[in-house]
Amino acid sequence: MLRYIIKRIFIAFLTLLVIATLTFFLMKLIPGSPFTNPKIKLEIRMALERQYGLDRPILEQYVMYLKNVLKGDFGTSMKYPGRSVTQMILDKFPHSFALGWRATVFAVSLGLFFGIIAALNHEGILDYLTMFIAIVGVAVPSIVLGPLLAYILGVNLGWFPVAVDGTEWSMVLPSVTLGLGSLATISRLMRTTTLEVLNQDYIQTAKAKGLSKTQIVFKHVIRNAIMPVITVLGPLFAALITGSIVIEGIFAVPGLGKYFVSSIYEQDYPMVMGITLFYAVLIIFSILLVDLAYGFIDPRLRVSSKGGK
Amino acid sequence: MNANLNIDPQKFTLVGKNLEAAQRINRPSMSYFQDAMRRLKKNKVAIASFWVLIFLIVMSLIGPVISYHVNGHTYRDQELVNKNQTPIMSNARSITMTANDVFEYAKYKPNFRKTSIKFTGVELVGTGEIAFKVGSESEEGWQGDKKEYIVSVTVEEGDSWDTIIQKLNARAEEILASDPDFRGVKFEKSGNTLKITSIGKTWFNTRYWFGTDELGRDMFTRLWEGGRISFLIAFVSVFVTVIFGVIYGGISGYIGGRLDDILMRIIEILMTVPDLIYTILLLQVMKPGIMPIIVVLIATGWMGMARLVRGEVMRLKNSEYVIASKALGADSKRLIFRHLIPNAMGPIIVNMTMMIPRMIFAEAFLSFIGLGVQPPYASWGVLANEGAKIFRQYPHELLFPAIAISLTMLAFNLLGDGLRDALDPRLRK
């Protein structure tokens, strides 16, 4: 078990190193530097480059960059000199996180509920209904769903605000849009595993013992069926984080994703790289956390290649 | 026991073995794929999905040609005067209130194109002028004329709602009599609701079947042109992904041992890197366009395929018939091309079908955040992005690409499910 944890953490750090290296060298491949403005005099440019260490050999710069990243310093913006990337992330990320956890709660709770209901009502109306929602969730991309929900529920019916203004009510539409795809994945998976569990011998035994249906469902079925679902939580969280990049644009959430897109448009490379790295750290550690948690919860699968993504 | 039983052995003759009958096969022999196709044909949902996809692909191929020959449109021709036309047009004029000294209201609600407006909770409070401006701009994207009319009446002391409505309707009819282009406006009041509707006729847009976008480009042509690009990107990237995955996974699985370990560790690390992250990184380095997107999609997609192929090859390598074939003296080439690849084809095909919608979605996502296909080229993602911006005014510009994307995703997913059931009956739920 300990070996497994150490191995997983080691791989996570190795991955981060790979990403940081990729980020650094790709950044160097992009033509231009922050100071290639013709208005800046040559000597000032040289001074600036010396200050930021851009005149040193590339390997030395690389080591410096890694050191800075380890310290949590992602550099400064090219478009807005003096604005540090780290500060920007700290300012903007809470808005994205507020959206992310709501979407996760929405997707996981409703997804599990739908999956269980569908399995218990196998080939009944509820089964078809929930699986229809799941299919729609898979087939309709958020770039379509977002504007559609905003238009129907927001503009036409006026039930929800179409832009996030800080109230709980305004978080409903973006969270639903963000979470629906994951809800579909979870409910389909939960349905399959629940159906499998329902066919197991120990369910027969429980029935023979005379347990009530609620007891069987809550004590035996759900506990066993939920195990495989936990494995998808890591990648799911990753999907929610990257998915919010689109959602934030649609619903005017002043979060990191929206800022990320505008940085891409403005070609603010340090900003793009910094946020990229930040996203990578977030995703890799959430996947790692879920994997480790899974190792603890299910003793059968302590060491297994299936644990990863 | 009947001792008298006496059977003459001469009555029996030996028939002998009928070798021919023993060897005859009663049913026609079926290859693995014929069998799978037979099973697939029974799945109505999968077959329907298949035809939907065929329709979308064929329309993508011939749609732009049809519209070029019938209406002379291409995907990049702009006609700014005809911008934002809707597929169903109406020449009803828009109405806006310009003066009101007479009544108060609780709520004001125009319809989508302001060709009809509604005041609820109206109450008379004074005397003076009521005026409505009619048809200042053709909100419906109909560029017939730029005429403007003012329907204005003066309300005097003692007027009731009935007389006001009468006056307004009379004034509207006067204008209509002097200029038939006005087409008429109707004022109605029921209860506490005042409703004003402008009269006009509706017709299908025969010149721009699906309307136009904000630059006056034909949506029908752009939709199918976008389909071409979306499908092209998806098919090419999936095709290359499969080839690369088969080679990488095949080598890893077939040779095994230390090489397999190294190759799989590389994949493991690359797979932990979130797709989107290096998609965006790579697109920052390359100029956005169709080729870079394909490259990026391949770069993020091949690992899963390589893993799948490796798993299949590992499983098949140790199966009895491969060992038997080896024992009979088959070389690697024969083993790979005769046994391993054909038998691994099933899961590979299923995975391909599931990958295509993912690629289309990834392309749409990239186009949506501005890293995708660049204008004037259109992909479904670009169209959805452009449509989403002015969705509230002109929903048709999002609706058509949205339907196309959703339908494609849905059909590929359902077809993939059907193929999985058909190709691997053990996995059937």
Task: Give the number of A-B residue pairs with CB atoms closer than 8 Å.
Answer: 115
Is B295 within 8 Å of chain A by CB?
no
For residue B203, the SS3 value is: strand
A151 to B282: CB separation less than 8 angstroms, yes or no = no
**Most confident option among A185-194, B187-196, B203-212, B229-238:** B229-238
- DSSP letter string, B131-164: EEEE-SS-TTS--S----EEEEEEE-TT--HHHH
The alpha carbon of residue B299 is apart from the nearest alpha carbon of chain A, in Å, by 14
Q: At what angle do helices B32-42 and B341-368 cross, to 10 degrees?
A: 50
The CA distances from residue B228 to A12, A28, B189, B224, in Å, are 40, 35, 52, 6
Residues in chain B: 429
Cβ atoms within 10 Å, residue A301: 15
Max intra-chain CA distance, chain B: 135
The alpha carbon of residue A288 is apart from the nearest alpha carbon of chain B, in Å, by 10
What is the per-residue pLDDT for A308? 40
The alpha carbon of residue B20 is apart from the nearest alpha carbon of chain A, in Å, by 47
Buried b (16+ CB within 10 A) or exposed e, B87-115: bebbbbbbbeeeebebbebeeeebeebbb
Least confident of A114-118, A202-206, A283-287: A283-287
The alpha carbon of residue A68 is apart from the nearest alpha carbon of chain B, in Å, by 20
H helix or E strand, kind and range, residue B89:
strand B88-90
**Residue A305 confidence class, pLDDT cut points 50, 70, 90:** very low
Q: Averaged over A124-130, what is the pLDDT?
A: 85
Alpha helices in A30-54 (DSSP H): 42-52
Is A271 within 8 Å of chain B by CB?
no
pLDDT digit string, tens, across residues B208-233: 778 788 787 888 888 898 899 999 99
Residue with tokens 């013992």: A209
Tell how far CA B168 is from the center of its chain. 48
A147 to B277: CB separation less than 8 angstroms, yes or no = no
Predicted TM-score (pTM) of this structure? 0.78
Least confident of B41-45, B71-75, B405-409: B71-75
Nearest CB neighbour to A261, from listed B369, B395, B405: B369
Which residues make Cβ contacts (< 8 Å) with residue A143, sequence separation at least 6?
A: A246, A250, B364, B365, B368, B381, B384, B385, B388
Burial of B46 by CB count in 10 Å (0-12 exposed, 13-18 middle, 19+ buried)? buried
C-alpha closest to that of A244 among A85, A86, A97, A87: A97
- Residue type for position A242: T
pLDDT > 70? residue A35: no
User: DSSP letter at B210?
Assistant: T
A26 to B285: CB separation less than 8 angstroms, yes or no = yes
Nearest CB neighbour to B277, from listed A30, A144, A280: A280
pLDDT > 70? residue A284: yes
User: DSSP letter at A159?
Assistant: -
The CA distances from residue A258 to A86, A172, A265, A286, B5, in Å, are 16, 18, 11, 22, 102
C-alpha closest to that of B231 among B44, B420, B396, B411: B411
Q: Averaged over B347-364, what is the pLDDT?
A: 85
C-alpha closest to that of B223 among B12, B426, B398, B26: B398
Q: Report yes or no: A162 and A173 within 8 Å, Cβ to Cβ.
A: yes
B429 to A308: CB separation less than 8 angstroms, yes or no = no
A147 to B271: CB separation less than 8 angstroms, yes or no = no
Is A17 within 8 Å of chain B by CB?
no
Q: Averaged over A116-129, what is the pLDDT?
A: 85
The alpha carbon of residue B416 is apart from the nearest alpha carbon of chain A, in Å, by 13
Q: How far apart are CA A272 and CA A257, in angstroms?
A: 11
Cβ atoms within 10 Å, residue B40: 18
Q: How far apart are CA B426 and CA B429, in angstroms?
A: 8
User: DSSP letter at A180?
Assistant: H
Residues of B in contact with A289 (CB under 8 A): none
Is B108 within 8 Å of chain A by CB?
no
pLDDT > 90? residue B201: no
Q: How far apart are CA A240 and CA B88, in angstroms?
A: 38
pLDDT > 80? residue A80: no
The alpha carbon of residue A39 is apart from the nearest alpha carbon of chain B, in Å, by 25
Q: Report yes or no: A141 and B406 within 8 Å, Cβ to Cβ.
A: yes
Q: How far apart are CA B10 and CA B289, in angstroms?
A: 91
Q: Averaged over B37-59, what is the pLDDT?
A: 88
Q: Report yes or no: B115 and B95 within 8 Å, Cβ to Cβ.
A: yes
What is the per-residue pLDDT for B53? 92
Would you call the peptide bond into B376 cis, given omega within 30 degrees of 0 as the criterion? yes
**Residue B380 confidence class, pLDDT cut points 50, 70, 90:** confident
Tokens of B88: 């169903």
Burial of B63 by CB count in 10 Å (0-12 exposed, 13-18 middle, 19+ buried)? buried
Bin A292: left if φ > 0, else alpha if -120 < ψ < 50, else beta: alpha
User: DSSP letter at B338?
Assistant: I
Is B48 within 8 Å of chain A by CB?
no
**Residue A303 confidence class, pLDDT cut points 50, 70, 90:** very low
C-alpha closest to that of A261 among B283, B66, B207, B108: B283
pLDDT > 70? residue B3: no
Look over chain B and give the mean of its residue pLDDT values, rounded to a whole number. 81
Q: How far apart are CA B67 and CA B218, in angstroms?
A: 9
The alpha carbon of residue A121 is apart from the nearest alpha carbon of chain B, in Å, by 15
Residues of B in contact with A269 (CB under 8 A): 284
Residues of A in contact with B407 (CB under 8 A): 139
Residues of B in contact with A265 (CB under 8 A): 370
pLDDT > 60? residue B138: no
For residue B221, the SS3 value is: helix
Q: Is the dihedral of CA B367, B373, B379, B384 positive or negative?
A: positive
Residues of B in contact with A245 (CB under 8 A): 276, 369
- Phi, psi at A225, each rounded to 5°: -75, -25
B409 to A26: CB separation less than 8 angstroms, yes or no = no
pLDDT > 70? residue A82: yes
User: DSSP letter at A40?
Assistant: S
C-alpha closest to that of A187 among A133, A240, A241, A247: A133
Q: Averaged over A104-113, what is the pLDDT?
A: 90
pLDDT digit string, tens, across residues B126-137: 788 888 888 755
What is the per-residue pLDDT for A298? 66
Least confident of A181-190, B252-261, B371-380: B371-380
Is B274 within 8 Å of chain A by CB?
yes
